[in-house]
């Protein structure tokens, strides 16, 4: 009888040894990799085929240091290895991925996995790093000593995969004995076994030479220079996002205007034409324009993550973080929230302390995510009279990100105090990985995925909203020549009138209030809504209505003739977007990760109220001061 059951192979190992890189290489997936500990926080499944064409299920586990204790992500790894995860069952084989350049630290886990009685294959990864540091390894000897197959590989180049697949072909290698684990003090026995093994299989170069990593760290971790570099890197990122994306944005915009003109000229005047030209192409286009800049932000975050700089930033922050009652480890999830709060909230699984984890989840959405970028990009140049690019904008952007981050710290401090002391104090040692070359393939595939997801959202969800909004500002119709009167008569006009008194103290008019309301569905929608709501058709001058929305809204006036978007009103609006939580998927993930809807609802109410109050205070105080 042939065995039709698909065998399950788990990839286990310490954090940051290249498990996910190997997983991607084996399965063709593009799961998240990065050069810091704690990138993978949940199980990932994929398939590969052995040399004989046999299908095998591969599980990528979060990294763990041992099979006891640990943070929520590490416990997932333990449970998977013990076969306690229902739908997966007991794995048939474990591939222990070790960093070959650091066997002393990584063999311990391999011994523990062998002790579980699972068949084990050891993948000696990063063999390139080991070799270039002059380390001489003897995989054959290690295999004899442990009684399990040992395969040297270099996962990021796909080297050694054929041999690895040979090792996991059917029939699987038998489980090895663990003679060291019989005594009373197993941990001690394991430790001496590791030392003995390293003696036998690894020959170190004698002198320790100062590596490039060491020299870079002496600058990047320096108490003064390190901070200067951090600020410099942030500025450079924002500056590049502006200056380099002007051109591609111009292309998208010209394309949009071309399409609008094409449709406008080839269709008879009427509702359908308006819907297509202003509602759909105008509204969705206003959002899509920002795609190049969003991708650039993801690119830079990817670069920082894969080079190893992220951990350095967390290390610098450790002192600041401990003052607010968190550890440097909490800074890594916060940093990745700059891209998107959802993976950021997930990444808090690496935090051991339950209370610290809750606090980090609570404040993570205040790290300005990529969805806010379109809003900032629309508004910030209005502060500078419409000029784009340049250092001043980069400075304003850095300030925007800093405001969100600093408020998050203050709130974290207050909240941490209220949750009371932790029963068990965890001493956190931040791991500083060596600097590594980015995996360009991964980064570019990731960008493609992000672009696909963004365009899909624009083409479905945002499109739907734009159609609804268009209908709401067109119907019910009023037989009048004056577009302003027609708008007033429509559903949007009526909603605006209700909202107006609420948002006026914050510095906005009813239409901006309506745009803010629509952006509770997703922040990017704000830009599309603004493009639609401030589109007042001047019938004889079609081109004028089709200029950039920024120029259009900059010219809007209040009834008394003063500009609607005064610098103070723009700042108030920016502050609202820094603080408001307008992302349903984030709330759903928070509810899941914090284990209760109360947290998600509390967070939503708190952040939205905070945003409204902050805007109110800024606008009122600013007005009193005469701005
Ligand atoms: N030089 C070198 N770098 C590698 C190799 N394999 C992986 N890397 C790098 O090692 C880093 C960590 O890779 P990941 O695959 O994210 O590691 P992981 O074990 O999944 O990490 P966690 O999910 O945090 O447990 C990345 O920067 C990779 O580019 C290798 O064979 N040689
Ligand atoms: Mg991983």
Q: What burial class does residue 51 get, using C-beta atoms within 10 Å of its C-beta: 0-12 exposed, 13-18 middle, 19+ buried?
A: middle
Distance (Å, whole) CA 266 – CA 319:
63
What is the per-residue pLDDT for 548? 67
Is the confidence at residue 537, as pLDDT, over 60?
A: no
Q: Which residue has the higher pLDDT, 75 or 554?
A: 75
Q: What burial class does residue 320 get, using C-beta atoms within 10 Å of its C-beta: 0-12 exposed, 13-18 middle, 19+ buried?
A: middle
Does the C-beta of 438 come closer than 6 Å to ligand 1?
no
Taking CA atoms only, the protein residue closest to ligand 1 atom 26 is 35
What is the per-residue pLDDT for 424? 56
Cβ atoms of 124 and 155 closer than 8 Å:
no
Once rounded to an integer, what is the mean pLDDT over residues 72-93? 88
Distance (Å, whole) CA 552 – CA 560:
18
Q: 430 C-alpha vs ligand 2 centroid, how far in Å?
A: 17
Does the C-beta of 600 come closer than 6 Å to ligand 1?
no
Does the C-beta of 529 come closer than 6 Å to ligand 1?
no
What is the per-residue pLDDT for 22? 97
What is the per-residue pLDDT for 250? 82
Is the confidence at residue 388, as pLDDT, over 60?
A: no
Once rounded to an integer, what is the mean pLDDT over residues 538-556? 61
Q: 338 C-alpha vs ligand 1 centroid, how far in Å?
A: 22
Q: What is the pLDDT of residues 441-479, one digit of tens each?
A: 999 999 999 999 999 999 999 999 999 999 998 888 888
Q: What is the pLDDT of residues 159-183, one digit of tens each?
A: 999 999 999 887 888 888 888 888 7
Identify the weakest region by mean pLDDT among 134-143, 154-163, 543-552: 543-552
Once rounded to an integer, what is the mean pLDDT over residues 503-529? 92
Identify the weakest region by mean pLDDT among 118-122, 314-318, 402-406, 578-582: 314-318
Q: What is the pLDDT of residues 225-268, one digit of tens each?
A: 999 999 999 889 988 888 887 788 888 888 888 998 899 888 88
Q: 93 C-alpha vs ligand 2 centroid, how far in Å?
A: 18
Cβ atoms of 33 and 41 closer than 8 Å:
no
Is the confidence at residue 426, as pLDDT, over 60?
A: no
Q: What is the pLDDT of residues 571-619, one digit of tens each?
A: 999 999 999 999 989 999 999 999 889 999 999 999 999 999 999 999 9
Q: 369 C-alpha vs ligand 1 centroid, how far in Å?
A: 25
Strand partners, 572: none
Distance (Å, whole) CA 151 – CA 130:
14
Structure letter (DSSP) for residue 207: S
Does the C-beta of 155 come closer than 6 Å to ligand 1?
yes
Distance (Å, whole) CA 487 – CA 493:
5
Distance (Å, whole) CA 314 – CA 302:
16
Share of the chain above pLDDT 70, in %: 95
Does the C-beta of 121 come closer than 6 Å to ligand 1?
no
Taking CA atoms only, the protein residue closest to ligand 1 atom 27 is 35
Distance (Å, whole) CA 452 – CA 229:
33
**542 pLDDT band (50/70/90 cuts)?**
very low
Does the C-beta of 350 come closer than 6 Å to ligand 1?
no
Residue (of 82, 112, 85) closest to 96 by Cα position = 112
Identify the weakest region by mean pLDDT among 4-18, 293-307, 315-329, 412-426: 412-426
Q: Which atom of ligand 1 is nearest the CA belonging to 154?
A: 31
The string of DSSP letters for 381-416 reads: HHHTTT--SSHHHHHHHHHHHHHHHHHHHHHHHHHH
What is the per-residue pLDDT for 616? 97
Q: 33 C-alpha vs ligand 1 centroid, how far in Å?
A: 7
For ligand 1, mutation pick of 42, 156, 329, 444 (most atoms within 8 Å of CB): 156
Does the C-beta of 34 come closer than 6 Å to ligand 1?
yes
Distance (Å, whole) CA 22 – CA 153:
9
Cβ atoms of 288 and 455 closer than 8 Å:
yes
Q: What is the pLDDT of residues 550-570, one digit of tens each?
A: 777 888 888 788 888 999 999
**428 pLDDT band (50/70/90 cuts)?**
low
Distance (Å, whole) CA 95 – CA 150:
10
What is the per-residue pLDDT for 546? 45
Q: Which atom of ligand 1 is nearest the CA belonging to 13?
A: 19
Report the sign of the C-alpha dihedral through residues 360, 366, 367, 371, in that order.
positive
The string of DSSP letters for 255-315 reads: HHHHHHHHHHHHS-SSHHHHIIIIIIIIHHHHHHTTHHHHHHHHHHHHHHHHHTHHHHHHH
Q: Mean pLDDT for the chain? A: 88
What is the per-residue pLDDT for 604? 96
Residue (of 155, 150, 79, 158) closest to 110 by Cα position = 150
Cβ atoms of 73 and 61 closer than 8 Å:
no
| 352 CB-near residues (< 8 Å, 6+ apart) | 70, 71, 426, 428
Out of 92-101, 205-214, 380-389, 419-428, give the one with best mean pLDDT: 92-101
Task: Indicate the pairing of strand 120-125 with strand 55-60.
Answer: unpaired
Once rounded to an integer, what is the mean pLDDT over residues 140-158? 95
What is the per-residue pLDDT for 1? 41
What is the per-residue pLDDT for 207? 61
Distance (Å, whole) CA 486 – CA 463:
23
Once rounded to an integer, what is the mean pLDDT over residues 319-344? 87
Once rounded to an integer, what is the mean pLDDT over residues 19-36? 94
Per 3-state DSSP, the chain is made up of helix, strand and coil in percentages (nearest 5) of: 65, 5, 30
Once rounded to an integer, what is the mean pLDDT over residues 372-383? 89
**540 pLDDT band (50/70/90 cuts)?**
very low
Q: How far is CA 253 from CA 376, 511, 548, in A?
A: 18, 24, 9
Is the confidence at residue 366, as pLDDT, over 90?
A: yes
């Amino acid at each position: 009888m042939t065995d039709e059951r698909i065998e399950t192979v788990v990839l286990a190992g310490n954090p940051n040894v290249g498990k996910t890189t190997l997983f991607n290489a084996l399965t063709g997936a593009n799961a998240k990799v990065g050069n810091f500990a704690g990138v993978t926080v949940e199980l990932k499944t994929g398939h590969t085929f052995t040399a004989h064409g046999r299908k095998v299920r591969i599980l990528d586990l979060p990294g763990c240091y041992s099979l006891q204790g640990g943070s929520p992500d590490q416990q997932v790894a333990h449970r998977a290895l013990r076969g306690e995860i229902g739908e997966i069952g007991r794995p048939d084989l474990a591939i222990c991925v070790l960093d070959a350049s650091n066997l002393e630290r990584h063999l311990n886990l391999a011994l523990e996995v062998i002790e579980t009685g699972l068949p084990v294959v050891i993948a000696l990864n990063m063999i390139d790093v080991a070799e270039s540091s002059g380390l001489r390894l003897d995989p054959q000897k290690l295999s004899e000593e442990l009684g399990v197959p040992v395969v040297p590989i270099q996962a990021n180049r796909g080297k050694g995969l054929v041999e690895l697949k040979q090792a996991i072909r059917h029939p699987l290698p038998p489980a090895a004995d663990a003679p060291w684990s019989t005594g009373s003090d197993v941990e001690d026995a394991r430790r001496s076994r590791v030392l003995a093994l390293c003696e036998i299989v690894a020959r170190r170069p004698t002198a320790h030479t100062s590596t490039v990593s060491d020299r870079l760290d002496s600058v990047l971790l320096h108490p003064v220079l390190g901070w200067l570099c951090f600020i410099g890197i942030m500025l450079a990122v924002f500056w590049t996002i502006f200056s380099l994306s002007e051109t591609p944005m111009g292309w998208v915009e010209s394309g949009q205007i071309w399409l609008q003109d094409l449709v406008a000229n080839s269709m008879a005047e009427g509702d359908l034409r308006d819907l297509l030209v202003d509602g759909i192409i105008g509204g969705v286009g206003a959002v899509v324009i920002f795609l190049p800049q969003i991708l650039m932000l993801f690119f830079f975050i990817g670069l920082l993550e894969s080079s190893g700089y992220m951990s350095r930033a967390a290390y610098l922050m450790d002192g600041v973080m401990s003052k607010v009652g968190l550890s440097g480890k909490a800074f890594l999830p916060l940093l990745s929230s700059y891209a998107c709060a959802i993976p950021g909230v997930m990444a808090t699984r690496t935090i051991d302390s339950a209370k610290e984890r809750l606090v980090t989840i609570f404040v993570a959405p205040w790290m300005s995510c990529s969805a806010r970028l379109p809003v900032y990009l629309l508004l910030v140049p209005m502060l500078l009279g419409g000029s784009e690019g340049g250092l001043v904008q980069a400075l304003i952007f850095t300030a925007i990100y800093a405001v969100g981050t600093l408020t998050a710290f203050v709130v974290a401090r207050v909240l941490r105090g209220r949750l009371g002391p932790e029963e068990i104090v965890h001493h956190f040692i931040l791991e500083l990985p060596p600097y590594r070359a980015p995996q360009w393939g991964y980064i570019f595939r990731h960008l493609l995925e992000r672009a696909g997801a963004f365009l899909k959202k624009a083409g479905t969800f945002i499109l739907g909203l734009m159609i609804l909004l268009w209908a709401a500002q067109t119907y019910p119709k009023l037989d009048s020549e004056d577009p302003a009167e027609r708008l007033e008569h429509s559903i949007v006009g009526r909603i605006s009138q209700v909202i107006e008194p609420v948002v006026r103290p914050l510095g906005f008019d009813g239409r901006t209030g309506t745009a803010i309301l629509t952006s509770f569905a997703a922040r990017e929608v704000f830009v599309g809504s603004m493009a639609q709501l401030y589109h007042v058709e001047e019938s004889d001058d079609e081109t004028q209505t089709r200029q950039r929305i920024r120029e259009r809204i900059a010219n809007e006036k209040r009834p008394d003739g003063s500009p609607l978007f005064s610098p103070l009103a723009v700042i108030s609006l920016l502050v609202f977007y820094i603080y408001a939580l307008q992302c349903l998927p984030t709330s759903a993930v928070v509810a899941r990760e914090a284990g209760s809807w109360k947290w998600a609802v509390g967070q939503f109410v708190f952040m939205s109220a905070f945003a409204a109050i902050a805007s109110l205070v800024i606008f009122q105080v600013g007005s009193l001061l005469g701005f």
